[in-house]
Amino acid sequence: MKIKNIHTRRLFRLDLQSRLAVGFLVATCLTGVFATLVSLWTINRNTIAEVQNRVRQDINTAKLIYNYKSEQIKSVIQFAAESSDLQDLINRNDVYGMGYMAGQIRKNAQNNFGNGNVILDMLTLVDARGRVIYRAANPKAAGDSLLHDSLVKTCIENKKPVASTELMSLKEILKENPSLAKKATIDIIKTPLAAEIDKDKLTDGMVMKAAYPIMDRNADMLLGVLIGGVLINNDNEIVDQIKETVYHGEKYQGRQMGVATIFQGGVRISTNVMTEDNKRAIGTILSKEVYDRVIVEEKDWAGRAFVVNDWYITTYTPIFNINKKIIGVLYTGILEAKYRDIKWEMIWINLGITVYGMLIAFIISLRLGNNIIERIKILKRGTEAIASGNLDYKLSPDKVSGFNMLDEAFNDMARSLKEHNDQLQRMHQHLAKTEKLTAMGEMAAGVAHEINNPLGGILLYSSLVLEDLPENSPVRDNIQKIIYQTNRCKDIVQGLLDFSRTPTGEMVPLQANQVITTSLNLVKDQAMFHGIEIESRFQENLPEIMGDRSRLEEVFLNLFINAADAMNGKGKLTITTGIGQNNCVKISISDTGKGVDKALLVHIFEPFFTTKEPGRGTGLGLSIVYGIIKRHKGTIDAESEKDKGTTFIITLPVHKNNNSIEKDNASCE
């Protein structure tokens, strides 16, 4: 668990690219394993299971062929029993007359081998008590009883033909036919996986036998029994017939695909399974597993089994004798190699595809990883640029790699950051300006108050002195200058007070267009406006504003006079009205005058700021204008370009309808 954790942690410590590569590899590997398992499962299900089914059917065909052979033997015996005057020969005990029967016997093991006709290995006639009258393959041996033979006994008792496969001791076999010595002898060959049989040679043989009762002419008395049989040991006719019929001799890589075997006990006595040196595997033993199941438990076996030197898909079925005792096994099987090879081929193909897929995945992940990392680096550079204050930094959207989404988002972010930053800066400037002007206004008001009284005193006393002076006094002129200058001072002080004072007049609903027109009428005929073209672009039906008429007139007069000053008697004055932001009335006053330096523009609303020569300007005009607009909860801003002109933009809150429950506290700030 701990180790696993360490591994997992290590994996997470890998850089992005390695992690991508590992991820891709694991994914393809898992897919490959999964695909292999699925195809194996499919092969097993469809192919192996199908073959097993087929083999199960094959054993039935094999059984049919086996039984057919038994039936054939029965027919041959019947034919021999019925074909001649056997009854007469028995009645007359004419052993010589029975000599013809020797024609049915196989002369030696090689002769007539597998030619399709049934050639018997033994043919014996017994009397009704089971005593041997004539042995076709061994005429000299006669007179012994065969009643111990279950088949003979059953036939005598039931007087009916019977057939079965029986075990006979080697001695009995040789008595029946001495020339069978070679055919009957089988050496047992022991192999590692085989069942244990502690014998070196088989001491008996398996004989497919039939017995036929011979009745007298009235068919009511048993005269004897004719018994014949074929020794299966070393006789491959049945198994080869099974092979040909069921598997059509199909071969795979030089080996027989389908094979059949007859076992006596657990030993192969008739087979077409080949050993490595290409001999029939006669004498080899059943595998232990199958032996236990079929011979010991007397049950069928179906499935994989190791046969001699290879794996087969097999079926085994027991062979019983007439007493229902198991004596052997019949087997058919198909070489598994073909299906195993298909399976391996499939595994290799799958593995190949997986490895190939992993290779491709690896290359793709490398390229993809590189791309991603490259884009991340670009993004990092971008964020660093933004962090260092370069809000104009832009990424060029990369449409190919699909990162444009991120690039666009980044650019959007930068844009909105810049907008916010600009807004903040503007707000900051505005606030700083407002604060400065407010502070100045307070100071100016204080100073003005303090100076106003002494100025009143100076004016009063200098007027009194003037009154008392004779008409021709030379001092009189000086006193008059004092009074004039003091009055000027008073005007200035009044201006300062105006800058910081709240509107004194009544706040009434006003038509902005009208107030502007009145102010314009006051100045337009004066000499300084003679060369100036005036254009009014008024929006009709503007909502009313709340304001002090005379103070607002003062604002416009000031602005018009400043404009005329700046244009020096030549140019164009444009007055525009309309609705601006926050539903405020917006008034712009533009001239084509000399403009203001950018550096000075921020100062123009400050009291005493003037660019005019001493005596011509006090620098109080715009600060008074600012004060008045401020007190109307409006805003005033100036835009200017040197030598091109200046525009003053005023916004004023509109007067709320009388019916409205809202109070008149709207603001354009």
Q: Quick check: 596 binds ligand ADP (CB under 6 A)? A: yes
Q: Quick check: 311 binds ligand ADP (CB under 6 A)? A: no
State which of residues 97, 509, 543, 619 lies at the interface with ligand ADP (CB under 6 A).
619
Nearer to ligand ADP, 333 or 593 (CB): 593
Nearer to ligand ADP, 269 or 604 (CB): 604
Nearer to ligand ADP, 163 or 622 (CB): 622
Q: Quick check: 617 binds ligand ADP (CB under 6 A)? A: yes
Find residue 182's DSSP bridge partners: none
Q: Quick check: 294 binds ligand ADP (CB under 6 A)? A: no
Binding segment for ligand ADP (CB under 6 A), chosen from 71-79, 188-196, 340-348, 620-628, is 620-628
Q: Quick check: 610 binds ligand ADP (CB under 6 A)? A: yes
Beta carbon of residue 503, minimum distance to ligand ADP (angstroms, whole number): 19
Nearer to ligand ADP, 124 or 646 (CB): 646
**DSSP category for residue 654:** B
Total interface residues for ligand ADP by CB under 6 A: 21
Beta carbon of residue 521, minimum distance to ligand ADP (angstroms, whole number): 20
CA distances from residue 276 to 194, 273, 297, 307 in whole angstroms, order as listed: 16, 10, 31, 12
Beta carbon of residue 548, minimum distance to ligand ADP (angstroms, whole number): 20
Residues 634-653 that bind ligand ADP (CB under 6 A): 646
Nearest to 252 by CA among 274, 279, 268: 274
Q: Quick check: 612 binds ligand ADP (CB under 6 A)? A: yes
Q: Quick check: 574 binds ligand ADP (CB under 6 A)? A: no
Find residue 123's DSSP bridge partners: 228
Beta carbon of residue 439, minimum distance to ligand ADP (angstroms, whole number): 17
State both tokens at 145.
């009883």
State which of residues 333, 571, 593, 634 lies at the interface with ligand ADP (CB under 6 A).
593
- Which residues, other chains included, contact 147 with Cβ-Cβ below 8 Å and sequence gap of 6+? 129, 130, 153, 156
Q: Quick check: 628 binds ligand ADP (CB under 6 A)? A: no
Nearer to ligand ADP, 124 or 623 (CB): 623
Nearer to ligand ADP, 362 or 608 (CB): 608
Q: Quick check: 611 binds ligand ADP (CB under 6 A)? A: yes
H or E stretch at 333: strand 326-335
Q: Quick check: 239 binds ligand ADP (CB under 6 A)? A: no
State which of residues 622, 628, 654, 668 lies at the interface with ligand ADP (CB under 6 A).
622
**Greatest CA separation for the chain:** 210
Q: Quick check: 132 binds ligand ADP (CB under 6 A)? A: no
Nearer to ligand ADP, 434 or 610 (CB): 610
Return the half-sphere exposure (C-beta side, CA atoms, 13 A cut-off) of residue 562.
Answer: 28
Distance (Å, whole) CA 384 – CA 378: 10
Binding segment for ligand ADP (CB under 6 A), chosen from 67-75, 305-313, 331-339, 587-595, is 587-595
State both tokens at 572.
């164009």
Phi, psi of 124 (to 5 degrees): -135, 140
Binding segment for ligand ADP (CB under 6 A), chosen from 41-49, 188-196, 376-384, 604-612, is 604-612
Q: Quick check: 609 binds ligand ADP (CB under 6 A)? A: yes
Distance (Å, whole) CA 559 – CA 556: 5
Nearer to ligand ADP, 30 or 439 (CB): 439
Q: Quick check: 437 binds ligand ADP (CB under 6 A)? A: no
Residue with tokens 């087969």: 312
**AA identity, residue 78:** Q
State which of residues 59, 98, 211, 566 lies at the interface with ligand ADP (CB under 6 A).
566
Phi, psi of 642 (to 5 degrees): -55, 130
Nearest to 334 by CA among 42, 57, 44, 43: 57
Beta carbon of residue 617, minimum distance to ligand ADP (angstroms, whole number): 3
Beta carbon of residue 629, minimum distance to ligand ADP (angstroms, whole number): 13
Beta carbon of residue 534, minimum distance to ligand ADP (angstroms, whole number): 14
Distance (Å, whole) CA 239 – CA 252: 19
Distance (Å, whole) CA 507 – CA 632: 9
Beta carbon of residue 538, minimum distance to ligand ADP (angstroms, whole number): 20
Nearer to ligand ADP, 261 or 558 (CB): 558
Beta carbon of residue 626, minimum distance to ligand ADP (angstroms, whole number): 9
Distance (Å, whole) CA 264 – CA 331: 11
Q: Quick check: 618 binds ligand ADP (CB under 6 A)? A: yes
**AA identity, residue 641:** E
215: left (phi over 0), alpha (psi -120 to 50) or beta: beta
Binding segment for ligand ADP (CB under 6 A), chosen from 31-39, 111-119, 241-249, 586-594, is 586-594
**DSSP category for residue 343:** H
Beta carbon of residue 379, minimum distance to ligand ADP (angstroms, whole number): 48
Other beta carbons within 10 angstroms of residue 602's beta carbon come to 15
Other beta carbons within 10 angstroms of residue 528's beta carbon come to 16
Q: Quick check: 303 binds ligand ADP (CB under 6 A)? A: no
State which of residues 495, 621, 627, 653 lies at the interface with ligand ADP (CB under 6 A).
621
Beta carbon of residue 497, minimum distance to ligand ADP (angstroms, whole number): 15
State both tokens at 323.
């007493």
State both tokens at 198.
């502690």
Distance (Å, whole) CA 198 – CA 368: 71
Question: Which residue is closest to ligand ADP by CB?
Answer: 621
> Does the CA dihedral 356-359-365-366 come out positive or negative?
negative
CA distances from residue 168 to 176, 200, 204, 230 in whole angstroms, order as listed: 10, 18, 5, 11
Residue with tokens 């014998």: 199
State both tokens at 388.
């260092």
Q: Quick check: 627 binds ligand ADP (CB under 6 A)? A: no
Q: Quick check: 266 binds ligand ADP (CB under 6 A)? A: no
Residue with tokens 């008392």: 468
Binding segment for ligand ADP (CB under 6 A), chosen from 137-145, 325-333, 530-538, 603-611, is 603-611
> From edge to edge, which strands make up the β-sheet containing 310-320?
267-271, 258-264, 326-335, 310-320, 301-307
Q: Quick check: 604 binds ligand ADP (CB under 6 A)? A: yes
645: left (phi over 0), alpha (psi -120 to 50) or beta: left
Binding segment for ligand ADP (CB under 6 A), chosen from 279-287, 298-306, 421-429, 602-610, is 602-610
**DSSP category for residue 420:** H
Distance (Å, whole) CA 450 – CA 174: 160
Find residue 214's DSSP bridge partners: 224
Q: Quick check: 563 binds ligand ADP (CB under 6 A)? A: yes
Nearer to ligand ADP, 452 or 611 (CB): 611
Distance (Å, whole) CA 291 – CA 346: 34
State which of residues 149, 204, 548, 591 lies at the interface with ligand ADP (CB under 6 A).
591
Residues that bind ligand ADP (CB under 6 A): 562-563, 566, 591, 593-596, 604, 609-612, 617-623, 646
